[in-house]
Structure 1
Amino acid sequence: MTEIPTGPDGRGPKLYLATVIDLYSRRLLGTATGLRLDAELARAAITMAVTTRGGKDAIWREEEADRVVFHTDRGSTYTAHAFTRLCRQLGIRQSMGRVGSCFDNAAAEAFFSSLEWEVLSRHDFETTRQAQTAVLDWCYGFYNHHRRHSSADMMSPINYENTTAPNREAA
């Protein structure tokens, strides 16, 4: 999760962004924005990600239990009972980094760094609505469809998934 400043000199209300990224393709599967940094924001993002992948039945089968792993830091949003319960209900195994280690969640940190450089550093948002519009447009318009990734053979996440879809089950 990250915060996006709004208002004059960034002193207005903060907009919070929660994300779910597929490490295979670097595709942004789910996002949620809100004015509060809490477990509900994380729940909304992971619910959107599951929906993007076709729902619970598409991501979880009994013979392949624990197939989906969701890696996060040890923040209270991800350790909250409401969030951990949702992960269990969806058949998602939680994985958390070591305390004090930023390297365990490098893909998410890289995503937020790109967002900061490519969007946030170039705009001053007067309102949270303006911030939300610009950030989500970049996420789903540019990041998923056009931004190339070295870990995805220099293709966009969507192109990489479409190109490698037949091989994905073997990965």
Structure 2
Amino acid sequence: MDSKDIQDDLVEVLITEDQIQARLAELATEVWEHYQGKDVLLVGVLKGAVMVMADFMRHLPGSAPMDWMAVSSYGSGTKSSGVVRILKDLDTDISGKHVLIVEDIIDSGLTLSWIRANLDSRSPASVEILTLLRKPEAAKVEIDTRWVGFDIANEFVVGYGLDYAEGYRNLRDVATLAPHVYS
């Protein structure tokens, strides 16, 4: 979906598809160099990370296996409480492997902090995080994030996997959603 098709639902496009692809290519090069010669597993967090994972993997100069987790974070409305329940666990034993969590966005950090601690408890060689977007102003916990695509303001954004009520995930850009849509 193109942002022009839904311009009445958006305040502004923050990051274009071209900017996303260019940054993912840079990150893929950095990640590949970092893990050269190591057994790395990419772990995506469903559903938001689907677009990031797919395009990030396409930019890698070699092959890397992937797996997925789905979690539910309980909270009020659009706020996360950090109380997490696993809906879909990994199919892969990560013991002794280098794990790279691939995320779409880090907001409060509460859910991702829980995921990282959960994965750390499974005896991996290491756990690192790559996120396309991070909202520093929204952070409630500090998360050591090795690779960040873009830092953005604490605004309600959609597109490129990010949704509102399961809509807008297929928007090619990342954009601020107009308040009239969600209020």
TM-score in terms of structure 2 length: 0.31
In terms of fraction of residues, the more strand-rich structure is: 2
Q: RCO higher in 1 or 2 (8 Å CA, sep ≥ 6)? A: 2
TM-score by length of 1: 0.33
